[in-house]
Structure 1
Amino acid sequence: MAGRRIPTIRHVAALVGRSAELAEVALTVRRPPSVVLVEGEAGVGKTRLVRELARGIDPKGRAVLFGTCQPMRAPLPYGPVVDILRDTRTLLEGVASKLSPLAGALRRLLPELAPLLPPEPARGDVATERHQVFRAVREVLAAYGPTLLVVEDVHWADEGTQDLLRFLTCPPTPDLSVVLTYRRETQPGRHGSLLPGGAHVLLAEGRNTLVRLRPLEPGHVGQLAADLLGTERVADDFARELHRRTAGIPFVVEELLREVREGGLVPRPRALDEVDIPILLRDTLADRLARLGPSVTVVVQAAAVLDTAATEADLAAVAGLTEDGVESALTHALDGAVLHEVGAERYALRHPLATQAVYVSIPGPLRRRMHARAAELLAAAPGPAVVRLAHHYRQAGDLPTWVRRTLAAVDHATQVGDTALALQVLEAALADDALPVRDRNTLAVRLSRVVINGIAGNSTVERLRSVLREETLGPRARGEVRLNLGLLLMNQVGRIEDAQGEIEMALHDLDSQPALAARGYAALTLPFTGTRPVRDHQRWLAEALRIADSATVDDERLMAVRSNEVTVLAQLGDPAAWAAAERLPRPGRSVKIGRQLARAHINLADAAAWLGHHDRARDSLVTGRELLSDTGVPFLSMLATGTELRLDAAGGRWASLEQDAAQLIDQAGDMAYLAADAWVALGWLAIARGDRDTAIRHLDHAHAAAPEHAPICAAIAAGRVTMALTRGDVAAAAVGAERALNAIRHKDNWLWAADLLPPATRALLRTGRVAHAEAIVAEFDQGVSGRDAPLAAAALDLCRGLLATGSAAVDRYTRAAKQYQALPQPHAAAAAYELAGTAAVDLGDIQTALPLLDAAATVFTELGLAKDAARCVRLSRRFRLGTPRGRKSYGGNLSPREREVVHLVAAGSTNRQVAEALYLSTRTVEKHVAQAMRKLGLSSRAEFAAVPLSEPCE
């Protein structure tokens, strides 16, 4: 291959979203003579397309020649063609002897190659010499044989070059394929089409193609981003935000991602806020504006200041131009593709990055004047955009008006339910060093009020902490900000200990504000939060009720106290909770009261779900959501969804569980605490399906999201202990169970151990600590006595079955199964039925065993757990025929089944291997091992090897 070498670039990204266009161009150029026009705006990938084309062409069969038109004020005659031919010395040496005298016309343009060219022909008039040059170029290219000629940026070509290209293609030169790239723009003072006579002239004969390259779609932007960042894929939200900022233009995408990569940033949407405007993009825009002239520049700057699609009149007002002046400048800006028409007679820069690049180039004094004009323009408009108006006043330097307009913007955003916008406006204002101290107090309090009902981000938490560190707030403002920060940390972030600390500090500043103090004490009352014992929460509740009864407390905060009182009763399993909930008032017309009632019912649903009152939980969710529809508190809605996901996971409603959980996790974003229930639900589902690795991963996510949420931590511990037992790691199961039980004991609410106690009991039995297991179950029994908690009752019967032998175990397992089924928790019910059936089989009571195993298999099948169902069916088939009826007690001696188990364990088999060999469940094997250790007086299963046993019974 001869001709100009393809320039190297810093990173050759994958070509995405262009396969169809590349195939079309390649097909055309491989069938000369042909012409391809590649049209597209700046940065859309024209150069990349033709370079990819050149890489796919066999260098031995075709010469590939590259040239580029330069944006010069006075272009050199035939500039790109001369540059191309100058680099073809090797090709020219091979054909020089075949050239006619006409080729000598190129000597004047190519003195470096004069020795290889014939003598220069006699000179004539200008037209004659021009014709000779055109014919000479055609002859040389024809002499080279099959050739691909690529000329880029033809929109900058001088008229001579345009005429020469037209001459080469009309009629087409044999064996020549021409690819021309251009964009639809003109230089100042030049109007009309790309090429005189229109581009269609170039397509008049031969095999020709016009390819229009458009910006990439969000999916292709994501593929390009993954390639540039060296990852398998990027998150969809990052790809969408990247597309929004760059309009899908590959050059801009690459430059922005270069900043992300070099800054070592994680590819998330917010990371794009932290990168600088790419220097190459700034320089490119500055160069284009310089060529377009000062009047065009000021109109483009006005568009950047307005930062939204603007009318011609708007641009004139902000730029300070007359109507005639703005019309001419706007026309040139459109011709130069710096501004684009957006909608009906409105104009803007191509993408947000271009807007930023132009904006930062505006000198300060001019920028302030433009913002002042924009503020004046916007203030006079009907229904002004309050956020933009506040922004223009700030940038114009009018601080008092800026603060007033900021508060108005916040009021408007909260009224229409856009708390995210209100938070954004307040955070931006508080981050501004120019904000006066008095106004800082006002805005900080307002931010803390807005955030407790919206969805916050980490930036909001840090902004409130920063304001408190500055020590500019007075005691009243400091107390309220601290209180609301505590509520935020507790309700959305899940940093309970930090939240309680902030609230307790706030209470010292709220002595003169009893209503806020009552709200603070009420926030500390909920037992599920943190590690404090229940008695501390009850003490805080008593103080909240005392203040509410003895001081003037507004209806909203009084309702907050009463709602939390009901929540405390429910979380502690007090039977009076449901009657207290019925006494909660109707919301009436007050949105604030409705908000507190919604919170109460969603808290009740959460408590009821942990207790096993599934129907009550779903009823409370319905009521809570109905109230939320009128109050608009996003984080409460997400908590309600999380509770529903837990109910679905426990209740066997698995059809859309994974999709719904993923949606909540995505919605939670930075506030992972709001998605903790989703991770728990996914963990339960994976445990039921026997997917150990997935279960552990989901449980780890749940713990990271809510490390100080007592019932969630207990549920996570239950899952981890179960998984440790499944993989045979008895030591890890026992230690994990002990730690979790100690946390429950310290918290002093045994109701939350309902899921934990059964696997903990199995872990203790597996380690031979039978007496300790019995003591734990007794402690649980005492802890839940008198509580209204169906799940705890079912767990207690299950654990008593694990501790029992003979028919007592069968009876306990069966009772537990029926209770689980009534909740409903079908998977737990099926597992209990299987335990009951297996225990009955061990006793030889087949008539009792078979219905229980059939019940287990049926439920497992309904849940889609074919392997578990098959295990039950296999066991029932083995003993369905020929096994005598009756039960035999072996007292302190080993039963035949226990002898079989001990024989296999002594030989080195794991519990799982024993279960598979004897067609038992792993849980049954665990029980046999524990009973055998107790009968033989052993402290560890390793001692089975020393026990003298005869051959196991058949």
Structure 2
Amino acid sequence: MLGPVETRSVSPVFVGRGDELDILNDALSRATAGEPQALLIGGEAGVGKTRLVEEFAAAACRRGAVVALGGCVEIGADGLPFAPFSTALRTLHRALPDALAAAAAGQEEELARLLPEVGEPGAGRHDEEGMARLFELTARLLERVAADRTVVVALEDLHWADASTRHLLSYLLRTLRTGRLVVLATFRADDIHRRHPLRPLLAELDRLRTVRRLELARLTREEVGRQIAGILAREPDPAQVDDIFRRSDGNAFFVEELAVAAHEGCRTGLTDSLRDLLLVRVEALPEGAQQVARIVAEGGSTVEYRLLAAVAGLAEDDLIEALRAAVNAHLLLATPDGDGYRFRHSLVREAVSDDLLPGERSRLNRRYAEALEAGPTLVPADERVMRLAGYWYDAHEPAKALPAVLDASVVARARRAYSEQLRFLERAMELWDITPEEVRSRLRPVDYTEAYPPPPSEPRGGTSDGSDAAATPLRYLDLMAEAAVAGRFCGERERALKTIKRALRLLQDEDDPVRSAWFWVQRSRLVRALGRGSGQEELARAQELVRGLPPSEVHAEVLTHAANWCMVHAPGPDVLQAAERAVAYARMVGARETELNARQILGVLMVDSGDIEAGLAELHEVKDRALAEDIPSVAVNTYVNLPSELEAVGRSREAVPVLEEGIAFARRHGRPDSEAWMWGNLAESLFAVGRWDESDRALVDPGRVGLGVGAMGVHATLRTELAVARGDLAEAHAQLAVAQDCFGSHERAAQHHLPLARHAIALAVAEGRLDDARAHLERALDAGFPPAAQRYAWPLLTAATAVTTEDLLPRVRDAAKRLVTVAPVWQAHDHWLRAELRRAEGRTDPGEWSEAVAAFERLERPYDLARTRYRLAEALLTHGGDDERDRAAELLRLAHAVAAHLGARPLADEVALLAQRARLALAPVVRQRSADPAEALGLTTRERDVLRLVAAGRTNRQIAERLFISPKTASVHVSNILAKLGVSGRGEAAAVAHRLGLFPPETDERVLA
């Protein structure tokens, strides 16, 4: 009565995983509400990770989400870098072509490295930020696509992920902030041994509060019983369930294999050996199907049908019959597009591949490579080069493998997959000596390298007359140069440094000073990046090697790097000349980018040496030229350095819009590290002009990027300053420790160690640790201040006067005499320090404090102005007569209003305590006898005019234009008004003005007209 029941290899019933599915569905709901989600799903091989993802994906589709799946290719198969992301983006492109095109608009050339469908990849420039730039643009692309719809991106088999995929996933999960997006990834937990490359990433992601991790446990006996019932389409015998549960230990895939084997009567020959268990179904196939299975196993995660046919060499009918047998046995699956085949489970593929004999594996890889060379269209165009490299390498054919892996390195570089480029280059170096000379002699640097610029007399790829016949062949040192740069770009600095050291040892036996100098420059950069030193010795070796040689690109690069190092670590007149020489050499050899970089260094040095306007003009010119000539690497550097120099000379308000423009430029071009530096500079300038809350936000969220060590140290230094000023000493301690750790003992650049010393002194003073504060000061004085360090030295010396003892006073004065005062802000600090030193000697002079206050009143630095006003009030109350009390009271009210507005609690407390001791009121005194409220508040006529415009919502610049005064003067008037009204902001001031009826409505309308 009943027909035969089909036995299914996969249970149609989804067994167990209820809790995990609830978590995934909850993540989907949160994402739909606008909160992006990230999940990692781990579990041993065969435990059911893929099935869980499939069930969740189906449920997400039913709820209207767009699901994009991508799988990692096994590392040994040499798949395309970023393969899972490319696959997922390709799915999104098919499902949402218009939305994805709109999200990628303007960045098609860069995004085409992952998704060729959006355009042609641009040539671009390769640098340390190249990979991060691609990551930033990809992350923002996904956010934009998921802005109006829920998108699920699922990446499977993360344990096989290439390094570039791991880096991109890490970046995405760390920076994901907006969009209706769910990102999940699966990995084999049992494969993650101590040295597995995924292990550090998992540890990093575990620390992120935004990432949830699920670990799939094995099935229970009850769940195994339900799974077997689904497979057999009937209730199993309890003894059979017990047997299978015991032998599978609840592993879902093993349950399937054992259930099918038991049903088919394969009761003998099964052992507890995993490999034997997995091969049972293969060995039950006809010989032809077994052979096809072995071919598919060695071809990669997926093998296209046409490629398989070419390798198998079978008649088409025989091939189809063999494939049908393997598919019917649930060993192979057709790919969703119907173009190829893959193993239903990777464990079986691994077992089949491991069962191949060494010679058999080499022969199969050779056949794959030969078929692919004969038929380039057998695989997708963007995969051909990578797969060919893998096939020839595994075929152990050096003559074929070396050119193939070099071609693959070029493709990897073009895709910003520098980790994979490095891996291919290391394979090329491994193959070099065992490759016939006649093959190596046909390879040309122009085809495979970009790192090392040749001398002008030896153009890439040919002789000076342009012919190719006598072109210099590729050298082993060329590969080492390319590998060193690739290692630096992808963050593998240890491997890069090891390669460079080997190259320099080889060059000891050659007369090639230019090439040696180039390697010494690279070594200098890596030593600094790794925190192994300052890089000075390495640059000195490079300079010595090129001294007296004709100009070249390398010569210009050496001079530029040396000038840059000296600018940061040892500025002085000689450095200015070195920068000028670097500009001249770069110009002579036509190295435009190097020339602009050298000019940028020159501009900074000019400002620091006191030639302020000319130096700033040079920086503006470099920025404009870099933008006009589309050299973004120089442009972003100038967006960092130009506003930094504006800040150095006290023009903080000018620096802010330049930085805002630079941040937009860096974000548009995907340069997160440069963006982080700009956020730090913006925070510094906002702090200076009194916009502390905005400064704090700039530091808390530095462009949503992971910071490099240098930028992280700068951010921590600025957070320390803000925390000390606001009295949050615990936070100041924590941030100071981070900053000190970032810069280390080797980093003695004034721009880093002088602010750290200043904050350490201020923190020690705040905690009453005066001996510690003096120790910090003595160490700073012992180290001395290099030329052009006035930007950092003046504030340090001013802060140090709080602990300056009699024996230290001469040293502080002597240090101050060596600092220049050509900028108004440096002059103001000079006045401040002189007054502080007098005070330390017990000879406070109100006149000197008046000069300091007047100097800061001309600047837009409200915190410094408030501190000097407090000191002037103290001097007036101590050494002035009774007629000075009203002036002191007014100064204290102004200082207290600014301190309260900024949140500078320690300063506000000091001012309040002084006022209490002097019996002075900090609240504005209203003269009751006056009928005019403005006069009663003590407002001058000019202040009344300014308040009228403040109440109308005018900015300081608009007030200055209306009243024909400078913006700085307008800012001073606004600060005075806030103090007299006893309010902390412009909005409150406007509210008081309206409440008191200071300005009739018709007056307001006239002002706004």
Aligned mates of 2:532, 2:584 — CA distance in 1: 27
- Name the residue aligned to 1:286: 275
Q: Deviation of residue 871 (structure 1)? A: 5.5
Q: Deviation of residue 485 (structure 1)? A: 0.6
1:43 aligned onto 2:25: no
Aligned mates of 1:818, 1:373 — CA distance in 2: 85
Aligned mates of 1:372, 1:815 — CA distance in 2: 85
- Name the residue aligned to 2:362: 368
Q: Deviation of residue 716 (structure 1)? A: 1.0
Q: Deviation of residue 726 (structure 1)? A: 1.8
Q: Deviation of residue 468 (structure 1)? A: 3.0
8 Å CA contact 2:679–2:703 kept in 1: the answer is: no
Spell out the pairing of 1:816-835 with structure 2 (5 A cutoff).
824-835=860-871
Aligned mates of 1:702, 1:354 — CA distance in 2: 51
Match of 2:833, as an amino acid? Answer: C
TM-score w.r.t. the length of structure 1 is 0.56
The 3 A distance-change label for structure 1 pair 570 and 747 is: closer
- Name the residue aligned to 1:710: 750
Aligned mates of 1:491, 1:316 — CA distance in 2: 54
The 3 A distance-change label for structure 1 pair 606 and 333 is: farther
- Name the residue aligned to 1:856: 895
1:395 aligned onto 2:435: no
8 Å CA contact 2:369–2:392 kept in 1: the answer is: yes
Aligned mates of 1:617, 1:425 — CA distance in 2: 45
Aligned mates of 1:656, 1:361 — CA distance in 2: 63
8 Å CA contact 2:876–2:885 kept in 1: the answer is: yes
Deviations 1:279-308 (A, max 9, x none): x99997634531221577766766665555
The 3 A distance-change label for structure 1 pair 472 and 571 is: same
Which of 529, 542, 545 aligns to 1:505? It is 542
The 3 A distance-change label for structure 1 pair 881 and 661 is: closer
- Name the residue aligned to 2:803: 763
The 3 A distance-change label for structure 1 pair 314 and 621 is: farther
Deviations 1:802-858 (A, max 9, x none): 223499655655665676687655544444444444444545744233333333333
Q: Deviation of residue 869 (structure 1)? A: 3.9
Aligned mates of 1:491, 1:715 — CA distance in 2: 20
Aligned mates of 2:495, 2:912 — CA distance in 1: 56
Match of 1:441, as an amino acid? Answer: L
Aligned mates of 1:336, 1:820 — CA distance in 2: 85
Q: Deviation of residue 43 (structure 1)? A: 1.9
8 Å CA contact 2:365–2:395 kept in 1: the answer is: yes
Q: Deviation of residue 720 (structure 1)? A: 1.1
TM-score w.r.t. the length of structure 2 is 0.53
- Name the residue aligned to 2:821: 785
1:731 aligned onto 2:771: yes
Aligned mates of 2:489, 2:296 — CA distance in 1: 36
Aligned mates of 2:893, 2:368 — CA distance in 1: 77
1:740 aligned onto 2:738: no
Q: Deviation of residue 784 (structure 1)? A: 1.4
Aligned mates of 2:487, 2:675 — CA distance in 1: 15
The 3 A distance-change label for structure 1 pair 363 and 853 is: farther
Spell out the pairing of 1:86-165 with structure 2 (5 A cutoff).
none
Range with bigger deviation, 359-368 or 856-865: 359-368
- Name the residue aligned to 1:87: none
Aligned mates of 2:599, 2:649 — CA distance in 1: 21
Spell out the pairing of 1:271-420 with structure 2 (5 A cutoff).
286-293=275-282, 305=298, 307=300, 309-314=302-307, 344-345=337-338, 363-375=357-369, 380-381=376-377, 383-385=381-383, 386-399=385-398, 402-409=401-408, 411-412=410-411
8 Å CA contact 1:302–1:319 kept in 2: the answer is: yes
Match of 2:722, as an amino acid? Answer: L
Which of 647, 655, 661 aligns to 1:609? It is 647
- Name the residue aligned to 2:597: 560
Structure 1 unaligned spans of 5+: 1-14, 23-38, 47-214, 223-234, 272-279, 884-954
Q: Deviation of residue 711 (structure 1)? A: 0.8
- Name the residue aligned to 1:687: 724
SS in 2 for 1:784: coil
Structure 2 unaligned spans of 5+: 1-15, 24-42, 51-151, 160-168, 176-181, 208-248, 255-271, 441-473, 923-1009
8 Å CA contact 1:399–1:435 kept in 2: the answer is: yes
The 3 A distance-change label for structure 1 pair 566 and 850 is: same
- Name the residue aligned to 1:937: none
Match of 1:779, as an amino acid? Answer: A
Aligned mates of 2:200, 2:491 — CA distance in 1: 28
Q: Percent identity?
A: 19
8 Å CA contact 1:860–1:868 kept in 2: the answer is: yes
- Name the residue aligned to 1:776: 812
The 3 A distance-change label for structure 1 pair 828 and 393 is: farther
Range with bigger deviation, 654-663 or 562-571: 654-663
Deviations 1:850-885 (A, max 9, x none): 3333333333333345575456446545645599xx
8 Å CA contact 1:456–1:492 kept in 2: the answer is: no
Aligned mates of 1:309, 1:533 — CA distance in 2: 59
Match of 2:280, as an amino acid? Answer: R
Q: Deviation of residue 520 (structure 1)? A: 0.7
Aligned mates of 2:862, 2:345 — CA distance in 1: 54
Aligned mates of 1:565, 1:862 — CA distance in 2: 40
Aligned mates of 1:463, 1:17 — CA distance in 2: 51
- Name the residue aligned to 2:837: 803
SS in 1 for 2:535: helix
Deviations 1:587-638 (A, max 9, x none): 3798685533543453333343344332444455466667768987665444
Match of 2:282, as an amino acid? Answer: G
Aligned mates of 2:912, 2:335 — CA distance in 1: 68
8 Å CA contact 2:488–2:526 kept in 1: the answer is: no
Deviations 1:82-135 (A, max 9, x none): xxxxxxxxxxxxxxxxxxxxxxxxxxxxxxxxxxxxxxxxxxxxxxxxxxxxxx
- Name the residue aligned to 2:557: 519
8 Å CA contact 2:832–2:849 kept in 1: the answer is: yes
Aligned mates of 1:267, 1:581 — CA distance in 2: 43
Deviations 1:30-62 (A, max 9, x none): xxxxxxxxx99832499xxxxxxxxxxxxxxxx
Aligned mates of 1:432, 1:663 — CA distance in 2: 47
Match of 2:682, as an amino acid? Answer: E
Aligned mates of 1:808, 1:44 — CA distance in 2: 79
- Name the residue aligned to 1:587: 625
1:468 aligned onto 2:504: yes
Aligned mates of 1:304, 1:655 — CA distance in 2: 60
The 3 A distance-change label for structure 1 pair 731 and 616 is: same
The 3 A distance-change label for structure 1 pair 798 and 881 is: closer
Aligned mates of 2:831, 2:294 — CA distance in 1: 76
Aligned mates of 1:353, 1:245 — CA distance in 2: 25
8 Å CA contact 2:303–2:341 kept in 1: the answer is: yes
8 Å CA contact 1:676–1:702 kept in 2: the answer is: yes
Aligned mates of 1:245, 1:435 — CA distance in 2: 45
Which of 516, 519, 531 aligns to 1:479? It is 516
8 Å CA contact 1:449–1:484 kept in 2: the answer is: no
Match of 1:383, as an amino acid? Answer: A
Q: Return the structure number with greater relative CO, CA threshold 8 A, min gap 6.
A: 2
Match of 1:800, as an amino acid? Answer: R
8 Å CA contact 1:496–1:529 kept in 2: the answer is: no
- Name the residue aligned to 1:256: 192
Aligned mates of 1:440, 1:359 — CA distance in 2: 34
Q: Deviation of residue 756 (structure 1)? A: 1.5
Q: CA RMSD in A?
A: 5.5
